[in-house]
Amino acid sequence: MLSGDFEKAIEFFDWFSSEFPDDIGEPVFDLYWAIAAYRVGRQEKARVRLQHAMLQNLYMLPRLFGEDWKDLDIWHSSNRQYRRYLDDIEEFLHEPTTAEREWIKQQFYSDSFRRLRDAYIDHYGRLLNEHDLRRRKVILQSWDRVAASILDNN
């Protein structure tokens, strides 16, 4: 991706996806995947990868188009989901062009991204103070159903 060979980047991302189907993801990795897909004209693939990037770190996309979200009152399942993660990857956040940042902003504020993001914040907000494992499981199962429904209707 960084070398400028976007078709090769897409080949790598496709290979990675087939070799590691259960990978939990890395926000900046999915951001670059979305950018590569966008640059080669695979808009739907770019949207899907951008959704993955957004859900892995809700603070990253707004940072790209000049908004700095305050810490959300939600459960973060990994250190990559916190706003401070962006400090660790700052050098990689310069890649998107101005046009790409505008596209990212449009996607971020689109109805489907907003519904997905709001549902995520709702479910992970409920997880923050829930310590009963059975109830946590119910919340996560609900999230999986809601997310699948939203993603299937995109």
Query: How far apart are alpha carbons 69 and 62 in whole angstroms?
Result: 7
Q: How confident is the model at residue 2 (pLDDT cuts 50, 70, 90)?
A: low
Round to whole Å and give the CA distance between 73 and 127. 10
The answer to whether 32 touches 92, Cβ cutoff 8 Å, is yes
pLDDT of 88 above 90 = yes
Q: Give the number of other Cβ atoms within 10 Å of residue 138's Cβ.
A: 13
Taking the model in full, what pTM does it have?
Answer: 0.88
Q: What's residue 1's pLDDT?
A: 53
